[in-house]
Amino acid sequence: MFVLIWTTLLFSVRGITADAGAAVKEHCDNGFCITLSEGEITAEAGLCVVIPCSFTTASDFRPKHMVWYKCEPYQRKCVDSDVILHTKNNNKVQSGFKGRVSLLEPDVSLRNCSIIINDLTESDSGLYQFRVQESGTKNGFTFSLKATVSVKGLTQKPTVMIPPLTEGQQTTLTCTAPGLCSGSDPKITWTWRGAGEKDSHITGNITAVTQRHSSTLTFNPSAEQHGTDVTCKVSFTNSITTEETVTLNVTYVKKPVITGMTSVKEGDALNLTCSVESFPPAVITWTKPDSNKNVIVLQNNTRTAALVIVNVTAEYSGRYICTAKHQITTLTTPAEVNVKSDQHGPSAELPWIIVAVVSLIVNVICIILLMFRWNTRKKVKPNQEDRTYMSLRKTDQSPEYDVIARPLN
């Protein structure tokens, strides 16, 4: 049990040390202690920096006001003109820092002296010193341990969020400025650049809405916008800017376009090309619905499919369809192919002879049928002579009569 508690304790202590980054340094002097970050605190121009700080005082000291200074490395102690924050007298603050520095915890009794400095410039690099005062301005303590801040040029870029873009479906892009500080809001602007074009403002129905650290751009993507660049530029105070450019991918598909000769002579080659403009590439196929003949597609790269039939015959005439399958969309374009016969070849004369012969036969059959029908209509009401003839014929033909007649012989 004891071992278990000990181990838990050990681990929790380690955890705390790790969380603090082991980069905290405490310095005590006459019962006044200050805890600051060990080493340099780095930040970027245009953004903000937090100087984490906590202190304790001698038991008889009643802390009332907090003062922060910024001074040069050669100064052993900062002076009044170096004040950047003063909880009692704001007039003492250097003009360059007015409104840029604030306490994270204004309640002095919590002994939390952490500050945030906004709208940084590289000249904010340097040493920062803390002083705590009692009610009377003279009675105070200045800690000798200083915090070191280093401000470098801005390298962070805005974050541009792009949802999947589909032609005709309204969409919203979001650009978020780097560094979330409570300082001045950055200015966020959007620019659009087509392939090989100059910067321009986006055409169409576009709404840009900026809220503190982010801006949204709402528009209706079009096929023409595929492959174009959109830039989000974030401008902080002191002309510090950063930008991010993204290339738009707009999902779109256009109707297949068929090129080539649809009217060919028998024996020649039929060669049609179907092109489909889309992103991402569509699946292109050629079909001939009224035939079970295989349609020969020579190549099917991402944009075109060629239909090639060498040495066509009349049976290749008819409707061919080029189909583009693109995600949930299917688009088709038909082509009417007409294979013309060669007028002087034997293959051209033969069908005419067949047609002539067949029509002649059909005519003859029709005439015979008509005549036969006309005859039978005439015999519907036979006269007396005919009846006699018929009964005679019947008597002659009756096999029963033959059988009865035979014994009489």
Q: Tell me which residues touch ligand NAG (CB under 6 A).
A: 54, 104-105, 112, 114, 162, 205, 246-247, 249
> Of 18 and 408, which has the nearer Cβ to ligand NAG?
18
Q: Minimum CB separation from ligand NAG for residue 104, in Å?
A: 4
> Of 92 and 193, which has the nearer Cβ to ligand NAG?
193
Distance (Å, whole) CA 228 – CA 248: 6
Q: Minimum CB separation from ligand NAG for residue 204, in Å?
A: 8
Q: Are 49 and 152 a contacting pair, CB within 8 Å?
A: no
> Of 87 and 249, which has the nearer Cβ to ligand NAG?
249
Residue-level length of the chain: 409
Q: Minimum CB separation from ligand NAG for residue 81, in Å?
A: 28
Query: Count H helices, E strands: the chain?
Result: 4, 30
Q: Are 234 and 186 a contacting pair, CB within 8 Å?
A: yes
> Of 302 and 338, which has the nearer Cβ to ligand NAG?
302
Q: Are 148 and 40 a contacting pair, CB within 8 Å?
A: yes
> Of 55 and 286, which has the nearer Cβ to ligand NAG?
55
* Count of CB atoms situated within 10 Å of the CB of 119: 20
Distance (Å, whole) CA 179 – CA 120: 11
> Of 248 and 348, which has the nearer Cβ to ligand NAG?
248
The DSSP string of 93-123 is: S-GGGTTTEEES---GGGTB--EEE-S--GG
The DSSP string of 2-67 is: HHHHHHHHHHHHHHHHHHTTT-EEEEEETTEEEEEESSEEEEETTS-EEE-EEEE--TT----EEE
Q: Minimum CB separation from ligand NAG for residue 69, in Å?
A: 20
Q: What type of residue is 385?
A: E
- Beta carbons within 8 Å of 353's beta carbon, 6+ residues apart: none
> Of 55 and 236, which has the nearer Cβ to ligand NAG?
55
Q: Minimum CB separation from ligand NAG for residue 246, in Å?
A: 6
- Beta carbons within 8 Å of 6's beta carbon, 6+ residues apart: none
Q: Minimum CB separation from ligand NAG for residue 50, in Å?
A: 8
Which has the closest alpha carbon to 71: 26, 29, 113, 125? 125
> Of 253 and 306, which has the nearer Cβ to ligand NAG?
253
Q: Minimum CB separation from ligand NAG for residue 249, in Å?
A: 4
Q: Minimum CB separation from ligand NAG for residue 34, in Å?
A: 11
Q: Minimum CB separation from ligand NAG for residue 220, in Å?
A: 7
> Of 8 and 170, which has the nearer Cβ to ligand NAG?
170
Distance (Å, whole) CA 13 – CA 151: 33
323: tokens are 């189909």
Strand ranges, E, within 303-364: 304-309, 318-326, 329-340
The dihedral built from the CA positions of residue 59, 62, 67 and 72, taken in this order, carries a sign that is: negative
Q: Minimum CB separation from ligand NAG for residue 35, in Å?
A: 7
Residue with tokens 């297949």: 256
Q: Minimum CB separation from ligand NAG for residue 203, in Å?
A: 11
> Of 151 and 250, which has the nearer Cβ to ligand NAG?
250
> Of 91 and 205, which has the nearer Cβ to ligand NAG?
205
